[in-house]
Each structure stands twice: as C-alpha cells, then as structure tokens.
Amino acid sequence: MMLKPSIDTLLDHIPSKYSLCILQAKRAHELEEGAQPTQGFKSVKPTLQALEEIESGNVTIHPDPEAKRAAVRARAEAERLAKEEEERKIKEQIAKEKEEEGEKI
C-alpha cells in the first residue's frame, strides 16, 4: 500500500519527519474537533486529510510558535470574558423582570 501523498513530497514542505508527524497530528486533531478545512479532500480520515493540506501548502509550521500560543490563549481569554459578560447581562435582565413582576402584584 502506497501512502498518498508520498513522504518525499511532504518533506519538500516540512524540514523533518518529526516536524511532519507533529504537524499532521495537530492538524488532524483540529479537523476532528470541527476546524474549517482549507480545501476539498480525497481522503475520509482526518489524518490523511491533514497530509493533503500539508502537501498543498495550506498548512505549515508557524514561524513563531510562542506567539501563536499567546494568541490562542488571548483568544480563549477573550471568549471567556465575553461569556461571563453575557451571563451577567442575562442575570441582570432576570432580576429586572422579577422586580417588575413584583411591582405588578
């Protein structure tokens, strides 16, 4: 059985087999979790889909992984704060409605 895409064409895009393996695994996990694909796939499995994206050049190693991690953390923190703000607004609205309901009785 022949791997498509071949390891030789993949190593044209990624400097080492280790880096290729790590990048493929991370991208496959992202695809399994519902990340938006960058292209149409011939393969069904996320691991092979990740290899197809790497071969086409749509997925590469980030040049500054620390900056990427910091950006991901900042995005997660912003989402958390937005959810907390939304919950606070909902609680205020509920309290206001209860207060108005109490006045009507």
**pLDDT tens for each residue of 32-60:** 998 888 888 887 888 888 988 988 888 88
Per-residue pLDDT at 1 exceeds 60: no
Which single residue is written with the structure tokens 């606070």? 88
CB atoms within 10 A of CB 78: 10
Residues 68 and 97 both lie in one domain: yes
Residues 26 and 54 sit within 8 Å (Cβ to Cβ): no
Instruction: Please tell me whether residues 20 and 46 are part of one structural domain.
Output: yes
Per the structure, the count of domains in the chain is 2
Answer whether 0.75 is exceeded by the pTM: no
* Same domain? 1 vs 50: yes
Distances (CA, A) of 78 to 13, 20, 45, 59, 85: 33, 31, 32, 25, 11
Domain assignment of residue 73, given as a range: 63-104
72, 26: one domain? no
Looking up residue 29, the CATH number of its domain turns out to be: 3.90.940.10
- Domain shared by 40 and 68, yes or no: no
